[in-house]
Chains A and B, each alone.
Chain A
Amino acid sequence: MTNTVIKIENLSKLYRLGEVGTGSLREDINRWWTTTIRGEEDPYAQIGHVNDQSEQAEIGEYIWALRDVNLEVQEGEVLGIIGKNGAGKSTLLKLLSQVTSPTTGVVKTKGRLATLLEVGTGFHPEMTGRENIFMNGTIMGMRRLEIARKLDEIVEFAGVAKYMDTPVKRYSSGMRVRLGFAVAAFLEPEILVVDEVLAVGDAEFQKKAIGKMKDVSQGEGRTVLFVSHNMNSIRSLCSRGLLLENGTVKFVGEVDSIISSYLSLNSEIINNLLSPDVQRNGSGEMRFTNIYFKNNESKVVDQIISGDYLEIHIELEKYSDIDFTKLIFSILFRDNGGNTVLQFVTDEMEVTIEKIDLKGKVIIKIPNIWLRGNNYNLAIRLNKDGITGQKFVVDEINNATVLRVIEGDIWNIGRSNRPGAFAVIPSEISIMNDND
């Protein structure tokens, strides 16, 4: 039988925007009168509307940072919380960590709950590493005895044994982060809520931190709520996902589908029409009108994880007659330096081109986009008469759009690749002792 350890019911949080200045005392008294004395609803709560940040906020306006969130988390579950900036992730974390109180709704939890919104809270630069371990540990609710018992492990995990009696102000920022995370790692709560603290520190430490998180969640069967912008960490750590949008729950479910809806959510604007004014060359019998990307779930996206399925859709229109059998379509992927790192040209692939009456479409399906994480400028070109030379260009756009590739976990090790190079190809390397 599954055991619900977190139950969130109708959780909402109202924030006031703009300057809290004149009139607030009057409003305070008014609110106190209506809510406490007369027992009615907060008169100012009704002003708020759903958190849509595209609109300009008026002074003194109220906004729902979180609205009617309902969620149940089972014991041992690792839930990834994703959403755009301002979707309500941080507010949800703040409410869970009791830093601030909800406007309405209830959160109920079972077992010791620890939230990690930051590593090294309460560190004092003048105190030594050892003193700060105790300071930070007790702030997070540990007893001093408990910390003393785990001190050796904490110091070893942080890798700062030599500097235990040095004031923390002499530490590098990386060392401080390691020390802070090490204390948190040995907190051993039943429920752990982690913000994007893993985004700091060097690659080696990140790996260690992710590994520790995996141990905590999978090995020790603890419940973890994990907030991140890094889809790889989410994908490798979490079994279930929660997608927040404008303060409300958009989806809850299996992590891969949540990630793909998040990526498509991120790119509502990118159905970018190629207007006639865009810088282009060519004789103009035909024109490209639109270019966009789709992922494996046929959702329009503007970014893709390295190694995932990618479709490129290009729409075009015909203005005057042209010999279709001799058309050549090419698409080039260029890095920031203008180097072409990947190209597809239809004549070398012997693609047959259908006759287009008025409007047409090019669809390129790439089973795995083995490009490294980077931004790539796409150049598209249509040539006539079977010749790719400049004089035979029908339409050419050099900066048609940008494809954002996010580093993926190609080697299946729970973290992203190191940046660098253009392509990554699945392969196997063995390093072994040669006995022969």
Chain B
Amino acid sequence: MNKNNLTQVKEENWDLVIKPQSHLLDINFRDIWSYRDLLYMFVKRSIITMYKQTVLGPLWFFIQPVLTMLVYIVVFGGIAKISTDGMPQPLFYMSGIIFWNYFASCLSGTSNTFRGNASIFGKVYFPRLIMPLSTIVSNFIKFLIQSAMLIIVFVYYYFFTSANIYPHWELIWVIPIMLLVMAFMGLSFGMILSAMTTKYRDLSFLMGFIVQLLMYATPVIYPMSLLEGKYSTFIWYNPMAHIIEGVKYIILGSGQFNVSGLVYSIIFTFIIFIIGIIIFNKTEKDFIDTV
């Protein structure tokens, strides 16, 4: 199984070699694959324990985005009077919230990988990447449940009102790609942050603030068309902006779909993913000594 042992071929046929250093970009896919059942169990665990001992139980999946939407309608739509590009406010905010939440929960979920699981990591070995992967999968399930509500709101406005909704059905296949980009971007940033919080704990205090700030730098509660001049250039470099704006373009027909922006997001995610893996690999080896 290990290349380095080819030099000492005779009778030395080890299954496992524990060494101080490994390659920076070493993802042991076979190892991860052999632990796929653990991934399944972690996802199951987080889903079934999420709302245990709450009165409303799984209803919270729906209540949270609805409450957020109501707040946005009052604050941003009602008081601040921020434009929704002519879209019905509930639909505009709901689509933004649900897609943004998927990214945000992937990011904050994985950023807690090392500290939140120190007790397990300190006792048993398994490919550590299983943990953040399970976070993005279980959040995806949450996303699917919540998007059912988005569909209901969409169906209401599309069929029963005269709102000007012109979905670009021909681009619907882009949505899964966008979800994948969001998942991996959240995962990558989360991995970097979780690795850094093991040493510099200050970051865990910053986490909530960072997510909040990122949301305002992304066209979740406002359309991109609202921005002018240096703000629009600035926001162009936010890889999440193209995703959220693109989603609204595809399902509502508002805003703009920027192919070069999407390509930029994909390349950005790829690079940040590589960096994330390197940092994560370096940390997982002996973070237990510093945490």
Interface residues of A (CB under 8 A from B): 7, 15-16, 20, 24-25, 28, 94-113, 115, 117-118, 121-122, 124, 126-127, 131, 134-135, 138-144
Contact = CB atoms under 8 A, between A and B. Distances in A.
Interface in B21-41: 21, 34-35, 37-38, 40-41
The 9 closest A-B pairs by CB, nearest first: A98-B125, A107-B18, A108-B14, A138-B38, A101-B285, A126-B52, A144-B37, A100-B286, A118-B123
Contact of B53 (A98, A117, A124, A126): A126
A102 B13 CA distance: 21
Contacts of B19: 101-102, 106
Nearest to A12: B20
A89 to B, nearest CB: 15
Given A111-B15, A138-B41, A100 B289 contact: yes
B15 A110 contact: yes
A121 B120 contact: yes
Contacts of A113: 15-16
10 contacts: A25-B199, A99-B121, A107-B18, A109-B16, A117-B124, A124-B45, A138-B40, A138-B41, A139-B38, A142-B37
Contact of B120 (A96, A139, A142): A139
B48 interface: yes
Nearest to A95: B18
B231 interface: no
B35 A99 contact: no
A141 B35 contact: yes
Contacts of B12: 108
Contacts of B15: 109-113
Contacts of A108: 12, 14, 16-18
A65 to B, nearest CB: 9
Given A20-B199, A96-B18, A104-B20, 6 more contacts: A100-B286, A101-B19, A107-B18, A118-B124, A138-B35, A141-B34
B47 to A, nearest CB: 11
A97 B18 CA distance: 9
Interface in B1-19: 12-19
B200 interface: yes
Contact of A105 (B20, B44, B52, B199): B20
Given A99-B121, A99-B288, A121-B120, A106 B45 contact: no
A117 B119 CA distance: 11
A108 B2 CA distance: 10
A99 B37 contact: no
A16 B199 CA distance: 13
A105 B21 CA distance: 10
B49 A124 contact: yes
Contacts of A102: 18-20
Nearest to B289: A100
A135 B134 CA distance: 13
Contacts of B41: 134-135, 138-139, 144
Given A101-B286, A124-B45, A140 B124 contact: yes
A192 B55 CA distance: 44
Contact of A127 (B13, B20, B48, B286): B48
B234 interface: no
B16 A121 contact: no
Contacts of B122: 94, 99, 117
Question: B12, B120, B289 — which one has the most chain A CB atoms within 10 A of its CB?
Answer: B289
Contacts of A100: 285-286, 288-289
B45 A127 contact: yes
Interface string B245-287: 0000000000000000000000000000000000000000110
Given A104-B20, A138-B41, A117 B285 contact: no
A97 B199 contact: no
Nearest to A167: B52
Contact of A99 (B44, B124, B199): B124
B60 interface: no
Contacts of A138: 35, 37-38, 40-41
B156 interface: no
B126 interface: yes
A384 B286 CA distance: 67
A40 to B, nearest CB: 14
A122 B120 contact: yes
Given A99-B288, A108-B16, A110-B15, A141 B126 contact: yes
Interface centre among A94, A107, A139 (most CB of B within 10 A): A139
Contacts of B17: 106-108
A111 B285 CA distance: 22
B290 interface: yes
Interface string B88-101: 00000000000000
Nearest to A119: B123
Contacts of B289: 15-16, 100
Given A121-B120, A134-B41, A139 B126 contact: yes
